[in-house]
């Protein structure tokens, strides 16, 4: 766990009523129209709530930047139905907490769950109350570490000055997603699961799209749908540079991953670009491993080119841009 921030010892201005206002870090979050807990006599929204409101609405474009495997964080947040990853914290885990595991989603959409054995599951795909997913998840993680075994952690609005995942997680720790066919990892002992959890598990399994993580390239995920298969590949390159490189390859008919495959567009998610390929129904994840590695080599060469785009390349780029969808 990150070290607790020291409290300021500087004198605070005298509030109305003669009471001394609390330091900013000591002021709890209350309703916008309630009196501010600092003792100023003003409503919270007109006092310490201003900074809190700004923190809630300010959007962090790349919330996972600086974490190991940023692309996989984005994929698990937006693209992968069922997956888990063991998390490694900077500080030793508290006594009685054997492990912390990130999961794409938890039963009943819980933000987190501390199991009976003390282990912790953190849900990644939940809605968050602020514009900084990293801060919201860090707040959930900190509360889960002190939760009673066998209880879920409820959602809340994280403090505006709270720590982020980047403050809590070991930057050198491995981040190795395990993709699951379903959500059985929710219930190690299915016979003792509640009726609500069992029903939630059945609904989640019915909606899960078969997904496989490629092993030869980073943050690329094959998935199977009824009509066709797809490859979704989260790439770390700056968006404009990446679109130029993809356009060069597309104009030269070198953007496919083999016969019957086609680069159809891209997603924009949490500050990174996610090119998407359509694949024939019979093309499996194993089939696409080698073509994906070969494409990575072609892309690296295209990224290294800084010549102006030709007319055909500009048209290809325009087509790719028109087929870009923003997920977050």
Q: How far apart are CA 216 and CA 235, in angstroms?
A: 14
Across 303-314, b (16+ Cβ under 10 Å) vs e yields beeeeebeeebe
pLDDT at 96: 96
**What is the residue-level pLDDT of the chain in tens, covering all 328 positions?**
343 434 433 333 333 333 334 444 456 766 666 788 888 888 776 787 765 555 555 789 999 999 999 999 999 999 999 999 999 999 999 999 999 999 999 988 999 999 999 999 999 999 888 899 999 999 999 999 999 999 999 988 888 889 999 999 999 999 999 999 999 998 877 666 778 878 888 888 998 999 999 999 999 999 999 889 999 999 999 999 999 999 999 999 999 999 999 999 999 999 999 999 999 999 999 999 999 999 999 999 999 999 999 999 999 999 999 999 998 7
pLDDT at 52: 54
Return the CA Rg of the chain. Answer: 23
pLDDT at 300: 98
Computed from CA positions of residues 168, 272, 242, 277, in that sequence, does the dihedral angle turn out positive or negative?
positive
The pair of structure tokens assigned to 6 is 């020291």
134 membership: H or E segment, kind and range: helix 133-145
pLDDT at 56: 52
pLDDT at 7: 42
Domain boundaries, the chain: 70-207, 211-326
> Following DSSP, what letter does each residue of 42-68 receive, concatenated?
SBGGGTTHHHHHHHHH---S-TTTTST
Cα angle 88, 94, 95 (rounded to 5 degrees) comes to 125
Neighbours of 162 (CB within 10 A): 17
pLDDT at 8: 38
């Amino acid at each position: 766990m990150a070290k607790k921030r020291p409290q300021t010892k500087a004198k605070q201005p005298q509030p109305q009523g003669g009471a001394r206002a609390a330091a900013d870090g000591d002021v709890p979050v209350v309703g916008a129209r309630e009196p501010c807990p600092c003792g100023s006599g003003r409503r919270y929204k007109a006092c310490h709530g201003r900074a809190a409101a700004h923190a809630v609405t300010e959007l962090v474009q790349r919330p996972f930047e600086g974490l190991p495997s940023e692309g996989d964080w984005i994929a698990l947040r937006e693209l992968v139905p069922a997956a888990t990853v063991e998390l490694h914290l900077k500080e030793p885990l508290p006594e009685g907490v054997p492990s912390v595991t990130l999961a794409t989603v938890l039963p009943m959409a819980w933000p987190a769950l501390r199991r009976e054995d003390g282990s912790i599951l953190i849900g990644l795909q939940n809605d968050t109350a602020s514009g900084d997913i990293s801060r919201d998840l860090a707040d959930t993680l900190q509360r889960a570490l002190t939760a009673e075994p066998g209880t879920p952690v409820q959602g809340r609005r994280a403090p505006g000055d709270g720590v982020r995942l980047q403050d809590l997680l070991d930057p050198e720790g491995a981040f190795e997603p395990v993709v699951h066919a379903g959500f059985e990892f929710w219930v190690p002992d299915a016979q003792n699961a509640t009726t609500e959890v069992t029903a939630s598990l059945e609904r989640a399994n019915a909606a899960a799209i078969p997904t496989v993580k490629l092993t030869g390239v980073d943050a690329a995920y094959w998935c199977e749908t009824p009509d066709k298969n797809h490859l979704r590949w989260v790439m770390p390159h700056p968006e404009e540079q990446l679109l130029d490189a993809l356009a060069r390859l597309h104009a030269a008919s070198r953007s496919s991953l083999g016969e019957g495959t086609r680069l159809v567009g891209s997603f924009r998610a949490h500050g990174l670009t996610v090119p998407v390929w359509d694949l024939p129904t019979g093309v499996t994840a194993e089939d696409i491993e080698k073509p994906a590695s070969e494409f990575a080599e072609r892309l690296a060469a295209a990224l290294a080119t800084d010549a102006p785009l030709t007319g055909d390349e500009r048209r290809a780029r325009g087509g790719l841009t028109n087929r870009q969808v923003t997920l977050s």
